[in-house]
Amino acid sequence: MKRVWQHPETETGAKASAGPINGDRVYWRSYEELDDTPEFREWLEREFPRGAAEMEGDEADDVTRRSFLKYMGASTALAGFGMAGCRRPTLYLVPYAKSVEWVIPGKPTMYATAMPRVKGCMPLVATTHEGRPTKLEGNPLHPNSNGGTDAVAQASIIGLYDPDRSKRVLRDGKRSTTAEFDAFLQEAQLLPKIEKGKGLAFLVGENSSPTRWRLLGEITKKFPNAKVYRYEPLNGEPQRRANEVLFGAGTTQTPRFQRADRILSLDCDFLGTDELGGDATGEFSRGRALNAKKKRMNRLYSVEPAFTLTGGMADHRLRAHASQMPRIAALVGKAIAEETGDNDLQAAVTPLLEKVNAAVFNEPWINECAKDLAKSKGKAIVVAGTRQPKEMHVLVALINRALGAFEGGQKAVIEVRQTREEAMPGLGALVEAMKAGAVKTLITTTEADPVYDAPADFDFATLYDEVETTVHLGLRANATARASTWHLPAAHYLESWGDIRSVRGVYSIVQPMILPLYDECVTELEVYLKVLNPPAASAEGGEAEEDSGPGIPINGMPRAEDPGPAYEAVKETFASFVKGDGDVSTAWNHALRDGFLPRTIYPRVDGAIQPAALEGLGEGGAFEQPFPWKDGMEIIFATDSKIYDGRYVNNGWMQEAPDPITKLTWDNAALMSVRTADDLGVRENGDMITIEVDGTSVTVPALVLPGPADHSITISLGYGQKGSGAIGDGTGFDMYPLRRSGIGEYVATNAKVTGEPDEPRYPLALTSEHYNMDGRAIVREGTMEMWKANPEFAQTQGMDSHIPPTIPLYQGPDYMDADSPRSTNDPAWNKVRLVDPNHQWAMTVDLNTCTGCNACLVACQAENNIPIVGKDQVMKGRIMHWVRMDRYFSSPKEELTFAAEKFSLAAEEGIGHERGRPKVDDDEVSMLTQPVSCMQCESAPCETVCPVNATVHTDDGLNAMVYNRCIGTRYCANNCPYKARRFNFFDYNKRPLEKLYWGPLAPPAGRGTTSERLQKNPNVSVRMRGVIEKCTYCVQRIQAAKIDAKVKAGQASQDVQVPTNAIKVACAQACGADSIVFGNLKNPEDTVNEKKADPRNYELLKYIGTLPRTSYLARVRNPNPAMPNAASVGQATADMH
Amino acid sequence: MANVFPRWSNFLPIKLAVFLVFAGIGVVCGVTYYFTGKYTRVGYMPGQPVAFDHSLHVGQLGMDCRYCHSYVEESLFSNVPVTQTCYNCHSQIKQDSPKLAPVRESIETDEPINWVRIHQVPDYAYFNHAVHVARGVSCQSCHGQINEMEVVYEAQPLTMGWCLECHRGPEEYLRPADEVTNLTWKPSDENRAAFYHELAEVSGSSYDELLAQAKAKFGFEDIESAMSQREIGTALVDVLGVNPPESCTACHR
């Protein structure tokens, strides 16, 4: 039946439906979309765009349709000769010889552990299947976790199974053995020769492991002349130094976001890449949550040089240069001093203001923001990015003190705590010592790769070569490993005994899940123990044994009960943490079970700022950075949201997870604003530019997005590594050569940037245009004001306000009423129960707290055996992620005109197709994120078109996908209005990504090992080529819970129902912000019912009548009415219809 | 008049006939293989590294299935015993039997015994032992009279159609949960009065009512007469609500 739409009149006369323009604001995902180019249209109108269906010739692989068929035919013929298909292979059941404690074949076991991070740790619970870890979840018992994780933690599990992991001890890059290394340690080459450790130096990473600190202390006691240096390329050293002068050595500041009403972030992406440690996302989202009981929420101001997740969540965002942040902080300080009458702050700021030309900054914005912060005295926080200079951190601490952030004892919004960490010299000091020739033996255990990522002015690689003996411990055979005399393969944290303190000090245990996969792997602690107690001359003559001989491996974890030296060392440290006369072994067992030892938080220190901190506040050049402009741009060396500083470069899940902001996969690129792009002559994404800093230049592709400060270029570090493995090789561009120590370490100023019009365009695999939903009110937002006036505001946005009645010809079962005549199908020959009276599954996603961090996306990949497809396939739109993390930009509509001057310019230059860019006011752009996966429609369009019933509805309301039935017609994907279905164009799980087109002729994936297979979840089918797949609400978890309930009930229950909130699907479990809630509609106690009843709840494309089970809670922004841009905040979808 | 049929068509009938013969042979082979027990491997009886005799251990000695297959009530997978389980007894009895050499070797070397797998459902079908056992599906229903097998063989086809037969009509197969591992159980062994008393207790309904219902349905003459499988199964399904799922996701994920 044709439905007649009565669109309400619009005042502005906006284009009614097609196109992304609706109401007074537009929202869009890329300039190409906003521009609505024909290429974009074409891309959009195909389900799997460009070449996906045709198998058209591909230059990279040089396989045409014809030759492909030829190969296929040949291989089919060959397969026939082998007769392999005629006999079924004999399979074996292999039990253990002796029972293993706790292991029940077929049942997963969970153990608490923790992932060491540069700041603190990520408390985890690891799921193991018959001893192999397959999935990591947050540890909800841990005081610093709400049970959520992040993408990095989720993906760290494949680091364990990485086929390119370092497996062997190397000497000068050649194969060696553990015994040889032991002999080297023993036989006077290292230790006895060194008089009290003279010339011995350690370069360690950032790590709060108490055992490590203890062992390093013992080493320096034994070798008083040995030196320990600390190095992480992105550790936020300035912040540490600021804390030292502010509150004393070894102190930390931990902002408690849940206690704050007003938050100002000055270049601090605390929800994303700027790890403050702890649970910033969870705490922030608790302050952000909005429901029937909690009707207030915090307000976030963000000042930043390019969009970040924090800026996306912000109620007010100001774009500003990273190098100018100290000046902005000074202006904020001035305004706050005026508001609060804080004389100390006033006195500190006044001399600084001389260096600030207030006119170039948005003063009204800063002043109103400061006023608002001052109004919430005691509940306001200002956070500064860890990449900002020390002086800025001192100033921000003064501002926080004026705002009363350190007051309130237990309830202070910023906690100052005393860690046990000692001050330690950094890489600069090591370089000095190396230059002086004072380092003879250097043992490097940092997870970073100093030969690759040290600041370029140190010339570290050359100095490193000159050191007599270098020993490197690392998971990867990276540049440092290759340059070292000795390389020891490191054990992954899931193979190691260790301990770690969370950012607030909670003593957490790193528990191994599995013996090291490769015999020669050692942990960091074991290396220190070896240096302390050199191994006795190898037992049987000390001869180099064969590869994996039965000797006791270096890690000291032999087959017997002896768990190894690191275990003993950790236990010894642990004993010192047990308070009073507590029973250590009981406490140890409890700590192993829970993952942490309670009451071990760092002691609180008085938040009084030492007066000496203010000395030299205006020095050091922090307030004198030149203002970036066309001929002297600012280059920001950013932490990569996926591979951090480069250490996860060979992690396929991270490489393929689209960057939350840019949606770029497999690369880094120079992020710039339209104005910068125009100045550089950059026309399209992927045009090359050359960046020159202090005489070094690098040529990189440009990526134009809204939101960056003009003449500021943000580019992430860590890419362009050579020899990093099959995944990491050839991805991105190395930016470390541009990096200088000192103030330019994170932000280089005065960089010469030039466009390279002659360079060929670099292909960037962006997913921002995949599966577009064509400008409907998909994502919805409003303001506090709107919400208070009408809590149901979201339900009338888009077309939902004027849906004509649906008069269906056929109605499916009534899933909420099992007794309805529609819900039974009872022909005599087959009694089928169409509706489960006890279970109906549903999900809600609260967009108010969803930051768009990708944790759900990667968690889904881990849980559901989702393959990666490689850059080439991503560019063809064949990415497999079941969760698509959509990111929308929104901007006022007035600005949506093509830049006229650009048009004429193009015409003058004779560039025919140049259409000019849509003009967007970068200051007014806001960002929204939305995870979209299969909606589990009750009336699913995909089901009706499947010719083989491979996708059908289950009685508990799932849209099931039966892989073994699917013949790959892709009709379902074509008919899915949400574009939630993915197709396996190749055997992504089975073949190496670079040889997909070889078909059956390709060797199996895994580069000669099968280690990758160990990660697979045994409860989910690994899909093959030619099969559609999609989100199933983690049906394996649903079934497991149902079966558990039935087993418990035995035969004795009429209505078996899964207990309340018993199932957490992978995405909901991983969500650090608790945005995703999954549950049973038939159990009124389940949280999901509460969420569904929330007036903000809305369904995607409600008017097409698919009755989706997943629904969204609209985002509410909390603008400050006094702010200059308040009127446009939260209006992205306000008047869409 | 020109030739309508070209020269090569002379041989077409012969070619066709030859083709049909081969096609026919193919069809016959296909049907014999795929449509009969050969494809489903019913009767598959491989030799095992240790000639473990179920008819002796279960049939004669009366060992319970769960002594060796110890996690069948907890896990989706019914484990084969670890060598230690064999050795619990065989360290005392028949220590020197040559048949047990692999067991002794396994205990000494810590290397497991590789038992040949007989029952195998495809990787995309997720069968769960625990729930079947808990809800009253006997071992015997799928594995046959194990207690009479000297060498274990596949007794049932384990095809999807075969699974669905029970999932659609569980009355024909269900038995009281405590008789699941009793391989010699017969419906006629049940005492009707005791059965309905227990059922009434578990379900909270009245005994008389249940008995009356059953009488109305199955019309048995007196309470002492033998119970039928259908009567027991129907009672379990209707009164206790043992309701096997029929949606695809029950087995395919």
Chain B residues 157-186 within an 8 A CB cutoff of chain A: 168, 176-177
Look at residue A804 in the predicted model and tell me its pLDDT: 81
**pLDDT at residue A239, as a whole number:** 86
Give the model's confidence band at B199: pLDDT under 50 very low, under 70 low, under 90 confident, else very high: confident
Mutate to test the interface with B, among A1044, A1047, A1057 (most CBs of B within 10 A): A1047
Contacts of A415 (CB under 8 A, 6+ apart): A253, A254, A256, A504, A604
Q: Is the dihedral of CA B32, B34, B37, B39 positive or negative?
A: positive
CA dist list (Å): A823 to A171, A817, A834, B43: 71, 7, 6, 42
Chain-centre distance for alpha carbon A660: 8
pLDDT, position A82:
43
pLDDT digit string, tens, across residues A196-227: 778 889 999 888 899 999 999 998 888 888 88
Residue A909's pLDDT is what? 45
Angle (CA) A818-A819-A824 rounded to 5° is 75
| Distances A302 to A255, A311, A706, A983 between C-alpha atoms, Å | 16, 6, 16, 40
Chain B residues touching A833 at Cβ < 8 A? 243, 246
Residue type, A1099: E
Quick one: which of A723, A733, A673 has its CA closest to A698?
A733
In this structure, are residues B242 and B165 in contact, taking their beta carbons and an 8 Å threshold? Answer: no
Q: Given this model, what pLDDT does residue A1041 score?
A: 93
B76 interface with A at CB cutoff 8 Å = yes
Please give the structure tokens belonging to residue A793.
Answer: 């505001």
Nearest chain B residue to A96, by CA: B82
What is the interface size between A and B, counted as CB pairs within 8 Å?
150
**Which residues in A lie closer than 8 A to residue B124 (C-beta atoms)?**
963-964, 1021
Q: Return the sign of the alpha-carbon dihedral for residues B50, B54, B57, B63.
A: positive
- Using a CB–CB cutoff of 8 Å, tell me whether B24 touches chain A: no
Alpha-carbon span A208 to A1098, nearest angstrom: 45
Q: Which of A260, A270, A354, A265 is nearest to A301 (CA)?
A: A265
> pLDDT, tens digit, for every residue of A648-670?
999 999 999 999 999 999 999 99
Task: Name which of B115, B176, B248 is nearest A954 (Cβ-Cβ).
Answer: B248
CB contact under 8 A, A97 and B177: no
Taking contacts as CB-CB distances below 8 angstroms, the residues of chain A near B241 are 1053-1056
Q: How many residues does chain B have?
A: 253
**What CA–CA distance (Å, rounded) separates A1018 from B77?**
12
Query: What's the CA gap between A171 and A162, in Å, rounded?
Result: 22
Q: Which two tokens stand for residue A810?
A: 């056929």
State the CB neighbour count (10 A cutoff) for residue A108.
Answer: 18
Q: CA A277, A283, A285 angle in degrees (round to 5)?
A: 125
**Which phi-psi region, left, alpha or beta, contains residue A299 (left: φ > 0; alpha: ψ -120 to 50)?**
beta
Task: Using the structure block, give the residue that is written with the tokens 């008017």.
Answer: A1103
Instruction: Count CA atoms within 13 Å of residue A767 on its CB side.
Output: 29
C-beta of residue A458 within 8 angstroms of C-beta of residue A741: yes
| Best to test chain B binding among A1051, A1058, A1063, A1065 (most B CBs inside 10 Å) | A1051
- Calpha distance A732→A1070 (Å, rounded): 28
Given CA atoms B221, B222, B224, B228 in this order, what sign does their dihedral have? positive
- Residue A765: name the closest of A861, A690, A662, A882 by CA: A662
Residue found by looking up tokens 């990273």 in the block: A322
pLDDT value at position A5?
58
Give pLDDT tens digits for A141-157.
998 888 889 999 999 99
SS3 content of chain A, % helix, strand, coil (to 5): 30, 20, 50
pLDDT at A80: 45
Question: How does A965-998 read in b/e, with b if 16+ C-beta sit within 10 Å?
Answer: bbebbbbbbebbbbbbbbbbbbbbbbbbbeebbb
CB distance from B71 to chain A under 8 Å? yes
- Give the position of tokens 């070619």: B15
Give yes or no for a contact between A283 and A671, defined as CB atoms under 8 angstroms apart: no
Least Cα distance to A360 among A318, A312, A308 occurs for A318
Secondary structure of residue A782 in the 3-state scheme = strand
SS3 for A826-847 is CCCCCCEECCCCCCCEEEEEEC
Distance, CA of A181 to CA of A534 (rounded, Å): 11
Nearest by CB to residue A1055, choosing from B136, B241, B250, is B241
Where chain A has pLDDT below 70, the residues are: 1-87, 187-194, 277-278, 535-562, 769-775, 825-832, 893-920, 1053-1054, 1135-1137
A-chain CB neighbours of B122 within 8 Å are 964
Phi and psi at residue A380, to the nearest 5°:
-120, 145
Spatial separation of the C-alpha atoms in residues A432 and A463, rounded to whole Å: 10
A126 vs A108: CA distance, rounded Å: 10
Residue A160 Cα to chain centre, angstroms: 18
- What's A1022's DSSP letter? -
Q: What is the pTM of this model?
A: 0.89
Do B252 and A962 lie within an 8 Å CB cutoff?
yes
